[in-house]
Structure 1
Amino acid sequence: MGTVERSGDDHTSEVESGEEEEIVGGGELAQHLLKSGITRNEMLAAITNRIHVETLAALPPNVRRRIRALRSLQKEFVDIEAKFYSEVHALECKYEKLYKPLFEKRAHIVSGSYEPTDDECLNPWRDESEEEELARAVQGAAITDGSEKKPAEEEPKAIEPAMDPNVKGVPDFWYTIFRNVSMLCEMMQEHDEPILKCLQDIKVQMHDDPIGFTLEFHFAPNDYFTNTILTKEYSMKCKPDEENPLEFEGPEIYSCKGCEINWKKGKNVTVKTIKKKQKHKSRGSVRTVTKSVQADSFFNFFSPPAMPEDPNSTLASDIQALLTADFEIGHYIRERVVSRAVLLYTGEGLDEDDDDDYEEEEDSYSDEDSGTEEVSDVED
C-alpha cells in the first residue's frame, strides 16, 4: 500500500497511485484530509462516511425522512440490546456463586487435600468397564515389556496395581491442560513448564460495576517467584457510545490489567540476555555488551500493553488489536478452561484444533547468536 509523506514547511503530501485508486470518490476531500495530517485509517473512514452521505443525499426527501425513522428504531433496538447484555452479565455473576463450591471441591481433590468418597466417584451415565480393561492391559504390557513374549496361555494376567499412597491428588493437572489446549500450549515455552507444574488452581472472580472479571492463577511455593496468586483483570463497557450509538455490537473490553510478578534473582523467564558487538567508528576497537530483551513466555500474559493517551492514533489501533486477542484468551480461559477443566485434562472436551495429531519443526538457535549484531557507529 502507499504511504503519506510530508516534508518542508509547506506540509505538501503525496499519495502513491495504489492508494489513490483505493480511495476513489475522495477527490478534494481526500486532499484536504491529507493536508490536515490525519492518519490513513481516519482518512478512509471520513471518505467512506462522505460516500454514504452522498448516497443518501441522492434519495428523494421523503425516503431520506423514512431512513431517519429507521435509524431511530435501530437506536431503540441498541438500547434494549445493551440492557440484555447487562442482564446476562448479572445472571453470570449470580451463577458464578453457585459454581464456586464445586470448583473449590475440585481444587481440594486435585491438590490431594480431600479424598472423594466411593459415591462421589460413581459415574452412572458411563460404562467404566472399558476404562478398567484398558488400565489392566496397560499394566500387562508394562509387565511383559522387554522380555521374550510367551504363549498366550502362559501370559501373566494383568492385575490392577494397588493404590500408591504417595500419589497426592491429580499430579500435573493444570500443566496437562496447558499441554492439551492448543491456545495455551502455543503460549507456553519450555522454560515455563517447571513453573506451570506448580499451578494449583485457576479461579474466576466476576465484577458488577464496571462489568468484567478477574482470573486468579494460584501457585504453590516455587523457585521462580514469591507470588502465590497472579491476576489478570478485564473491564468491559456495555453501553452504546453517545456519539456513535448505532455501532454498538455488545460488551467491549476497554481495560486490561495484569500484575507485577516478584521474580527471584536470576529466575525471570520473561527476559533473556543477548550479546552485541559494538565497533568504535574511529578507533576500530570492538567491545561486547550485554542487553536484556523480552523473551517469549506465557507469563507475558500478565503484562498487557497499555493504551496510549490518543485513542485515535495508529499505535492505539495496533494495541487495541493486541488487547482484543488478549481478551479472547482470557475469555476462553474463563468460559472453557475453568468450567471444563477435567474434560480438557482427559481430552474429552478438546476442540478439533486441540486434538490434531501433528508435529511442527522448531528452529534451533541460541539467544546469543540471535541477538548478536555489528554496530559500526558507536562512540564512547
Structure 2
Amino acid sequence: MSTKRNNDGEEKSSEFTDAQVASIEETHNFIERLEFAAERERQKLIAPGLAKRDETLNAIPGFWRAAFKNSLVYLQVASFDEDAKALEFLSKIRGWRDPEQPKAFGVELHFDPNPFFSNTVLKKEFKYVAPSDPEALKKDENGVCQADIDFDFDRDVDVVTTKIEWKEDKKNLIKLFPRVFDTDEPDEIVEDGSFFHFFEDSKVRDALSLRFMRAHPSSSIIQLKGPSEVR
C-alpha cells in the first residue's frame, strides 16, 4: 500500500493499494498512447495544407522577410544590428516535423546572395533516433510504441547543423557576437550571441530551439502584427 504525508508532514497510509496505483498508471499510459496517435495523425492530415501555405507564401515577393521581422522569434533573436542586416537577405523559410515522431523537427532558411556568407540555405534538423531496445519498439494497434511515449529530446535526437561559409572575418557574426556560457553550468547559455549560432551549434536547448519545439517551425514565424496577422 502506498503512503502520503498529511499537513503535519507525517506519513500515513493511502487508501489506494499498489495494484490500484499500477492500474491508474496503466490507464494513464493508455491515454498517452492515444494522444500520441492522434497528434501523429493530425500532423499527417495538415501536411498538405502546410505545403499549400508554403507554396502560396513563397510566391509573394518579400513575404518571409516581412513575416520574420514582425515575428516574436525575430524580436527574441535579432538583438544585433548586423544580424538584422544579414536577415534582410532572407528569401524563404521551410519547416517540417518527423511524420513518425512529431516532436523531432527541422528548419531551413533560404537566402539571396549577400555580403555575409556564401551559403544559399542554412539548415538545422533534430533527427529522431529510435532506441535499440526491441521491447520499446513494439507497436500497439494504433502503431504506437513505448519509445514514442518515452521520447526525450536530449537523448533521442541527432542534431544536424550547417557550417556557415563566412565571406570574411569582419562579416563572421558568430565570431563578432559569441555565445556566453555559465561558468558553473557549462551547458547553460547566459547570452545567446548572434542568431546564426543556431545553425552551427549542436546544443538542443537554446532559446530558438525551444520555441520551435512548441510549434511548427514555420508557424512560429508567421505571426504578423496588426489586423493582417497570419496564423
Query: 1 CA distance for matches of 2:77 and 2:201?
Result: 14
Note the alpha carbon deviations across 1:255-283, whole angstroms, 9 max, x for none: 34432212222221111299xxxxxxxxx
Match of 1:370 in 2: none
CA contact (8 A) 2:77 2:208 kept: no
The alpha-carbon distance between structure 1 residues 194 and 95, as it changes in their structure 2 partners (threshold 3 A), is same
Aligned equivalent of 2:57, options 78, 98, 106: 106
Aligned equivalent of 1:328, options 210, 213, 218: 210
Query: 2 CA distance for matches of 1:72 and 1:262?
Result: 56
Amino acid aligned to 1:231? K
Aligned equivalent of 1:79, options 30, 35, 54: 30
Query: 2 CA distance for matches of 1:347 and 1:263?
Result: 38
Match of 2:15 in 1: 63
CA contact (8 A) 1:180 1:347 kept: no
Structure with greater proportional helix content: 1
CA contact (8 A) 1:174 1:199 kept: yes
- Give the fraction of aligned pairs with identical amino acids, expressed as a percent: 19
Residue 298 of structure 1 and its aligned partner are, at CA, apart by 1.0
Q: Does 1 or 2 have the higher relative contact order (CA < 8 Å, sep 6+)?
A: 2
Amino acid aligned to 1:265? E
- Identify unmatched segments of 5+ residues in structure 2: 137-147, 179-190
Match of 1:22 in 2: none
The question of 1:184 aligning with 2:184 is answered no
TM-score of the aligned structures, taking structure 1 as reference length: 0.42
CA contact (8 A) 1:85 1:250 kept: no
RMSD of aligned alpha carbons: 4.0
Residue 58 of structure 1 and its aligned partner are, at CA, apart by 4.7
Query: 1 CA distance for matches of 2:177 and 2:39?
Result: 47
TM-score of the aligned structures, taking structure 2 as reference length: 0.65
Amino acid aligned to 1:296? G
CA contact (8 A) 1:93 1:206 kept: no
Query: 2 CA distance for matches of 1:109 and 1:179?
Result: 16
Match runs of 1:189-268 below 5 Å: 189-211=80-102, 212-235=104-127, 252-254=152-154, 255=157, 256-266=159-169, 267-268=171-172
Query: 1 CA distance for matches of 2:36 and 2:177?
Result: 47
Residue 197 of structure 1 and its aligned partner are, at CA, apart by 1.1
Residue 305 of structure 1 and its aligned partner are, at CA, apart by 4.5
Aligned length: 193
- Identify unmatched segments of 5+ residues in structure 1: 1-51, 111-169, 243-247, 275-293, 307-321, 352-380
Residue 335 of structure 1 and its aligned partner are, at CA, apart by 6.2
Q: Secondary structure at the match of 1:232?
A: strand
